Amino acid sequence: MSISRGTSTGLPGLLALFFGGASVLLAQGNPPPEAASEPAVLAVAKVLPAVVNINTERIVRRQVRDPFDDFAAQFFGAYRQRPREIRQTLQSLGSGFLVDPAGYIVTNEHVVERAADLKIEVITSDNKSYKARYITGDAKKDLAFIKIDSEKPLPFVNLHDISPNLLGQTVIVVGNALGYGTSISRGVLSGVKRELTIENIDYHDLLQTDAAINPGNSGGPLIDLSGRLVGISSAKMAFTPQGIPTQGLGFAIPAAVVRQNVEQFKKIAEKQPPPQPGASGEETGSSNADRLFGLQLQDLTPELADALGYAADRGVLVSAVEPDSPADQVGIERGLIIYKIGKFTVNSVKQAESVLSQADSGSSVDLAVGIVGRGGRGRRVETVNLQAR
């Protein structure tokens, strides 16, 4: 199985029209006169201005040490030598689309995975570039919510008028397949309520289509011939679990699921404080946990929890601690779990970074840190206070 990622650019001569006052804003293009009557051309021109290209960049820091030191530690005591740090820049491409004139964008969670550590760049159909910030997401549904700021209202896809999703109807995938710029593929809605497992996550009630979904399309809209949203392109199946090559098996998250989650995402966005300059750590490419406290965090996956004997789906793993940092000074060590930051329970790096985005230099934060074994056994958790540097 392979997961596609996508981008989006625009067509010249696209105009923004207002319908019904300011309630719905849809950007409508001007197709060539000879093709103006073709439904597919009109549908693409209607939606394309709201489709965006999402470029992400993440700085990954790994600590490497000589295997001989681990061997020697068995005989001569604890490991003492400072490990060597390696930095890597990971980049990915994806698509998304605006769902609100204020600049809210929905995409796949895997497109902006670990978004708290990312630089997120959004390029709109008129080739304007924006810095985006991650709002929230749901990994189990592969949906994420990000935002860009614009001085004027932006074209968007109307989630209050979605496709009925009828088997056999013509559907169109819009995105930047393989990074080739604006790309369109066409097919039919060939199945509903499909089940799919990707990287140990089970997805339910997916739509199936034979319209080509390629790397670069993920997060982009799947639309019908009226320009209404059918779903979000999410994945394609290149091989069956038995290794048999497949053809024409692409999957999308239904528009009704998207609409329901966007409503919840907006409520979360309303409760979040406005972004503070420099709080995201973008200038240095580092996370807030690293920049302020010398902590490198990692999601505690079920596999990691099982290997370490920890309770699953609880807390975030401390993967490294910078020597002489605030975290090091209070005794936090690699391998411990952070369960709460202040009064907020955290179960992912994104949640931890969202809470820490409100901290700044000189402020203090309480962390509930320690270890909780499987079944609650061996519970050792303490609250420590860290002062941001």
Q: What tens digit of pLDDT does each residue of 44-63 get?
A: 999 999 999 888 765 555 55
| Domain(s) of CATH 2.30.42.10: residues in the chain | 288-387
Nearest to 327 by CA among 275, 367, 371: 367
Helices (H) and strands (E) in the chain, counts: 7, 20
- Inter-residue contact 39 to 31 (CB < 8 Å): no
Report how far residue 78's alpha carbon sits from residue 38's, in angstroms, rounded to the nearest whole number: 72
- The CATH class that applies to domain 170-258 reads mainly beta
Helix (H, G, I), strand (E, B) or coil at 21: coil
CATH of 15-147, one of 3.40.640.10, 1.10.580.10, 2.40.10.10, 2.60.120.10: 2.40.10.10
Q: Is 210 a residue whose pLDDT tops 50? A: yes
Answer whether 0.75 is exceeded by the pTM. no
Decide which of 244 and 262 is more confident.
262
Q: What tens digit of pLDDT does each residue of 88-103 get?
A: 555 567 899 999 999 9
Give the homologous superfamily in CATH for domain 288-387.
Answer: PDZ domain (2.30.42.10)
| Domain(s) of CATH 2.40.10.10: residues in the chain | 15-147, 170-258
Q: What tens digit of pLDDT does each residue of 226-239 get?
A: 999 999 998 765 55
- Inter-residue contact 370 to 380 (CB < 8 Å): yes
Percent of the chain clearing pLDDT 70 (strictly above): 71
Helix (H, G, I), strand (E, B) or coil at 211: coil
Catalytic residues: 110, 142, 218
Report how far residue 275's alpha carbon sits from residue 132's, in angstroms, rounded to the nearest whole number: 11
Q: Is 214 a residue whose pLDDT tops 90? A: no
Confidence of residue 180 (pLDDT cuts 50, 70, 90): low
Decide which of 195 and 25 is more confident.
195
Q: What is the mean pLDDT of residues 377-381?
A: 80
pLDDT, residue 335, reads 85
356 phi/psi in degrees, rounded to 5? -70, -15
pLDDT, residue 294, reads 87
